[in-house]
Amino acid sequence: MSDKELLESHKNKIIKELKFKHEPIVLYGDEAFSFFRKSFPVYHNKSDKQILKRARGYFHHVNLSQDYVNTGVICIFNEHIGTLAHELCHAKQFQDNNKWMESRKWMKLFYKIGYAFYPTEREAFKYAENYLKSCKLDELASDYKLHIRKVKIKNVFQWCATLFLFSMVYAMF
């Protein structure tokens, strides 16, 4: 079974498990990178490697054409099952009108500085980890759990740096 067939198999299993109203659009590899570049002009001239350094996958649900308005579009850059499960969880959150999927200014700020602790991300991380465990993919689940820890540690360092900068600015006044 090819990597894409394996991902499709897991995609179908997750879609059935999460009981989607509308089947999400999922793009892999070159197709995902191409769609992402077209959707976000700031990434238009970025290489696949530069995009992959920023994200393993992405669920796009804002300012989409009518074709995708009910489903959103999932881009899987690293072609990992854990990333697929994580992004499909976001698609389900979107279809369920999760309030944390809204794009309000303060929510964007919280998301930016607290990504790993943002409610939709915590849920998606947990879902992906549990999905991998339920499929008896223990090594992938362990790797995914390590990824979650790294993201959380990075966020804590970002918080500390932000607080330090705010305190420095405050001390100047």
Q: How far apart are the C-alpha atoms of 71 and 90, rounded to whole Å?
A: 11
Enumerate the β-bridge partners of residue 59: 74
Six token digits for residue 92:
């389900």
Stretch 141-168: mean pLDDT: 86
Q: Order of strands, edge to edge, in the sheet holding 25-28?
A: 25-28, 73-76, 57-60
Which of 85, 101, 99 lies closest to 17, judged by CA? 85
Which pLDDT tens digit goes with each residue over 78-132?
Answer: 999 999 999 999 999 999 988 877 766 666 666 676 778 888 999 999 999 999 9
SS3 88: helix
3-state SS track over the chain: CCHHHHHHHHHHHHHHHHCCCCCCEEEEHHHHHHHHHHHCHHHCCCCHHHHHHHCCEEEECCCCCHHHCCCCEEEECCCCHHHHHHHHHHHHHHHCCCHHHCCCHHHHHHHHHCHHHCHHHHHHHHHHHHHHHHCCCHHHHHHHHHHHHHHHHHHHHHHHHHHHHHHHHHHHC
Question: Pairing mode, if any, of strands 73-76 and 57-60?
Answer: antiparallel
Residue-range definition of the domain harbouring residue 162 = 3-172
Instruction: Return the number of other C-beta atoms located less than 10 Å from residue 85's C-beta.
Output: 28
Q: How many domains in the chain?
A: 1
Which pLDDT tens digit goes with each residue over 6-15?
Answer: 999 999 999 9
Stretch 138-151: mean pLDDT: 92
SS3 122: helix
Strands (E), 62-110: 73-76
pTM > 0.75: yes
